[in-house]
Amino acid sequence: MADEVKCDVLKVLKEMNTRRGKTRLQIVSWGNRSPVLEKREFWYDDADNEKTGKAKGFNAEDFQLIIEQLGEVKKLLARPEPTEPAKV
Q: Is 2 inside a domain boundary?
A: no
User: Domain limits at 66?
Assistant: 7-77
pLDDT at residue 88 above 70?
no
Q: How confident is the model at residue 15 (pLDDT cuts 50, 70, 90)?
A: very high
| Mean local confidence (pLDDT), 9-19 | 95
Q: How confident is the model at residue 54 (pLDDT cuts 50, 70, 90)?
A: very high
| Mean local confidence (pLDDT), 28-33 | 90
| Closest CA relative to residue 6, chosen from 88, 82, 86 | 82
pLDDT value, residue 61: 96
pLDDT value, residue 75: 96
pLDDT value, residue 66: 97
Q: Is 30 inside a domain boundary?
A: yes
Domain containing residue 65: CATH number: 2.30.31
> Is the separation of the CB atoms in 54 and 44 below 8 Å?
no
| Closest CA relative to residue 51, chosen from 3, 4, 84 | 4
Domain count, the chain: 1
